[in-house]
A and B are shown apart, each in its own frame.
Chain A
Amino acid sequence: MFNDKTAKFILLAGLVLCVGGALAPNWIVNQFMFGFARALAILGLMVLWRTGLVSFGHAFYFGLGAYAVAILDIELGVTDVFLRLVAGAVVAGTAGFLIGFIMRNYRDIFFAMLNTAISMVLFGIVVKTESLGSTDGFAISMSTILGFAPETKYPLFVIITLIGLTSALLVNFYLKTTVGKLTTAIRDNEIRVEYLGFSVAHAIHLKYTISTILAGGAGALMAMSLGQVDPESMINWTVSGELVFVTILSGPGNVIAPFIGSLVFEVLRTYAFELAPQAWQLIMGATFLTIIFFVPGGIWSLLEKLGGKKNAK
């Protein structure tokens, strides 16, 4: 699990980030928390993308994870960061597993839009339901860590970083297993996979469920980082679009890519908003176009090229 370059880099990055976070100003710590929380969802979308599947509805699972945290907090007073995370991942993963029985039968635009449709149903229910906070959502109390209430955000940052990087390690391992290697194989030729004796439906179902567990975990971590949940920023279809945007920005080349892409997105959005509060979408759109036209493999492919040139020298 730890004997390849990616795994070693992840371990080293974890160490550097945890030490660096203690010295960094609050706004940087915040950027990393939001970026790494989202990166979990991107990691799942990356697994689907490698299989040739794009979901425009994963905000459904992201939102389920976030709302699980809020409801546990309000109804049962659960504030422990690990319980909240597990709850978010389990709720979203259970929903993903059940919905996966339908999704595994669809491909291409039907897969993408069916996910959107399901997320819009949840959005509609939440917006119209007073007990779910309607359009205002809920404020969430500060997370505790095994009974200890931290005074700064640093401990939560460390936990999010470690959870994010552990997930990256697990996905990195998964992609090297037989079923993990079937991502590109399924994208290339489903008929051959079936005739080799493996069920494409089962493989897709597993990948879909993994992606929903990760999206739920991401939603839970984001809710804890922000201290609030609301349908507009957690479940709406624009959030799903944002997740796909970051997936393309990151590139599918490596499990580290979602973390870099998500951080870049976070910084880009912050500065775009500061520079042009009324037209920040213009900057984001232009960036998206640039990526699609000039770097279709995402930031990771750019880093690979740069790394390759350096090695060549």
Chain B
Amino acid sequence: MQNNTPILEVRDLLKTFGAVVAAKDINVDISKGEVVGIIGANGAGKTCFVNMVTGYLAPTEGSIKFEGKELIGLETRKITHAGISRSFQVSQVFHSMTVSENLMIALAIANNKGAEALSLMDTPELRRQLDGVLDRYKLGDHKDSTVSALAQGVRKLLDIAMAVVSKPRILLLDEPTSGISVEEKFDFMDIVMGALKEDGVTVLFVEHDMEIVARYVNRVLAFYQGEIIADMPPKKALADKKVQEFVIGKEHHKKKK
């Protein structure tokens, strides 16, 4: 599944907010099919990195190339069109609508480009696609429920499902398991990662839960004070001294011993 041609190339990325340096010297290549865990303490620059790749924040300096095409300067929707989607730490969905309506809109936008947006949204083909998404993300039981009445975990699933209907080549997930109970987190991730694997999507996800990182990723990027301090396989990363000191925390490591 994974090949070594970089799908995403990030070079010398710098982001400053006045005197505050949120990200610096970020150089990383992501290959097709990789599942990358982005870890770091709060304020380490993880979400800042995701925001820069997806166009929410403009970097101060540097370059982000996706399949050889420069992304910097592109609007968020153009980045989505290019093939990069994302979900959010706080799920970004349409709260007054049902799960089906949310997904129908996402599917309709993905299917109807340009003048096609003026064609009827509710078609048999879109309904068929909707059933497929509901099935793969186990959202069928909630399809007629209004989002505002749903549990956080279901909203998160919906958020991710909406992000992937455009068939992105890269998906960035910002803390997918935050707000999800310990008992549910593996079931949740099994659904998400299973569906994404089927689609062959390259995944980068920000995560604080090291159990999730150890179980689902094949590469870890550890951030500290805006820089990448470790870029290695998960086992090695979680045993790395710098990662233990600046990301996991020394005290935590000692307790485990």
Residues of A near any B CB (own CB < 8 A): 173-174, 176-182, 184-185, 187-189, 191-199
Q: Are A189 and B105 in contact (CB under 8 A)?
A: no
Q: Are A196 and B122 in contact (CB under 8 A)?
A: no
The contact string, 1 if C-beta is below 8 Å from chain A, for chain B 140-182, is 0000000000000000000000110010000000000000000
Which B residues are in CB contact (< 8 Å) with A179?
A: 117-118
Q: Are A197 and B93 in contact (CB under 8 A)?
A: no
User: CA separation between A177 and B86, bound complex, in Å?
Assistant: 25
Report if B97 contacts A (CB, 8 A): yes
Interface centre among A174, A193, A197, A199 (most CB of B within 10 A): A197
User: CA separation between A288 and B108, bound complex, in Å?
Assistant: 38
Which A residues are in CB contact (< 8 Å) with B75?
A: 194, 199
Q: Are B97 and A195 in contact (CB under 8 A)?
A: no
Partner of B96, one of A180, A184, A192, A198: A184
User: CA separation between A188 and B166, bound complex, in Å?
Assistant: 20
Task: A178-B117, A195-B92 are known; give 7 further A-B pairs, CB within 8 A.
Answer: A177-B120, A184-B97, A185-B97, A191-B88, A192-B94, A196-B77, A198-B77
User: CA separation between A181 and B118, bound complex, in Å?
Assistant: 10
Partner of A197, one of B80, B88, B92, B97: B80
Report if B225 contacts A (CB, 8 A): no
Q: Are B77 and A194 in contact (CB under 8 A)?
A: yes
Which B residues are in CB contact (< 8 Å) with A191?
A: 88, 92
Knowing A178-B118, A179-B118, A199-B77, the reply to whether A192 touches B108 (Cβ < 8 A) is: no
Q: Are B110 and A196 in contact (CB under 8 A)?
A: yes
A-B pairs with beta carbons under 8 Å apart, 29 shown: A174-B118, A176-B120, A177-B119, A178-B108, A178-B116, A178-B117, A178-B118, A178-B119, A178-B121, A179-B117, A180-B121, A181-B104, A182-B105, A185-B105, A189-B92, A189-B93, A192-B92, A192-B94, A192-B162, A194-B77, A194-B80, A195-B77, A195-B86, A195-B163, A196-B162, A196-B166, A198-B77, A198-B109, A199-B77
| Nearest neighbor of A199 in chain B, beta-carbon distance | B77
| Nearest neighbor of A188 in chain B, beta-carbon distance | B94
Report if B89 contacts A (CB, 8 A): no
User: CA separation between A174 and B118, bound complex, in Å?
Assistant: 7
Minimum CB–CB distance for A182 against chain B, Å:
7
Knowing A188-B94, A189-B92, A189-B95, the reply to whether A181 touches B81 (Cβ < 8 A) is: no
Knowing A181-B105, A196-B106, the reply to whether A176 touches B121 (Cβ < 8 A) is: yes
| Nearest neighbor of A174 in chain B, beta-carbon distance | B118
The contact string, 1 if C-beta is below 8 Å from chain A, for chain B 28-56, is 00000000000000000000000000100
User: CA separation between A191 and B94, bound complex, in Å?
Assistant: 10
Q: Are A178 and B109 in contact (CB under 8 A)?
A: yes
Which A residues are in CB contact (< 8 Å) with B95?
A: 188-189
Q: Are A177 and B118 in contact (CB under 8 A)?
A: yes
| Nearest neighbor of B147 in chain A, beta-carbon distance | A188
Report if B76 contacts A (CB, 8 A): yes
User: CA separation between A196 and B112, bound complex, in Å?
Assistant: 12
User: CA separation between A121 and B195, bound complex, in Å?
Assistant: 57
Which A residues are in CB contact (< 8 Å) with B88?
A: 191
Partner of A192, one of B93, B104, B120: B93
Knowing A178-B109, A178-B117, A182-B105, the reply to whether A195 touches B80 (Cβ < 8 A) is: yes
User: CA separation between A198 and B121, bound complex, in Å?
Assistant: 14
User: CA separation between A225 and B112, bound complex, in Å?
Assistant: 41
The contact string, 1 if C-beta is below 8 Å from chain A, for chain B 67-94, is 0000000011100110001101000111
Q: Are B122 and A176 in contact (CB under 8 A)?
A: yes
Which A residues are in CB contact (< 8 Å) with B116?
A: 178
Knowing A177-B119, A177-B120, the reply to whether A197 touches B109 (Cβ < 8 A) is: yes
Which A residues are in CB contact (< 8 Å) with B97?
A: 184-185, 188
User: CA separation between A181 and B88, bound complex, in Å?
Assistant: 23
User: CA separation between A180 and B117, bound complex, in Å?
Assistant: 8
Knowing A177-B120, A184-B94, A189-B94, the reply to whether A197 touches B166 (Cβ < 8 A) is: yes
User: CA separation between A156 and B120, bound complex, in Å?
Assistant: 33
User: CA separation between A210 and B141, bound complex, in Å?
Assistant: 38
Minimum CB–CB distance for A126 against chain B, Å:
35
Minimum CB–CB distance for B150 against chain A, Å:
14
Q: Are B119 and A196 in contact (CB under 8 A)?
A: no
| Nearest neighbor of B163 in chain A, beta-carbon distance | A195
User: CA separation between A118 and B80, bound complex, in Å?
Assistant: 36
7 tightest A-B CB contacts, nearest first: A197-B80, A188-B94, A178-B108, A192-B92, A179-B117, A178-B117, A196-B109
Q: Are B117 and A177 in contact (CB under 8 A)?
A: yes
Which B residues are in CB contact (< 8 Å) with A198?
A: 77, 109, 117
User: CA separation between A185 and B93, bound complex, in Å?
Assistant: 9
Which B residues are in CB contact (< 8 Å) with A177?
A: 117-121
Q: Are A195 and B54 in contact (CB under 8 A)?
A: yes
Minimum CB–CB distance for B146 against chain A, Å:
11
Minimum CB–CB distance for A221 against chain B, Å:
25
Minimum CB–CB distance for A208 against chain B, Å:
16
| Nearest neighbor of B116 in chain A, beta-carbon distance | A178
Knowing A185-B97, A189-B94, the reply to whether A196 touches B120 (Cβ < 8 A) is: no
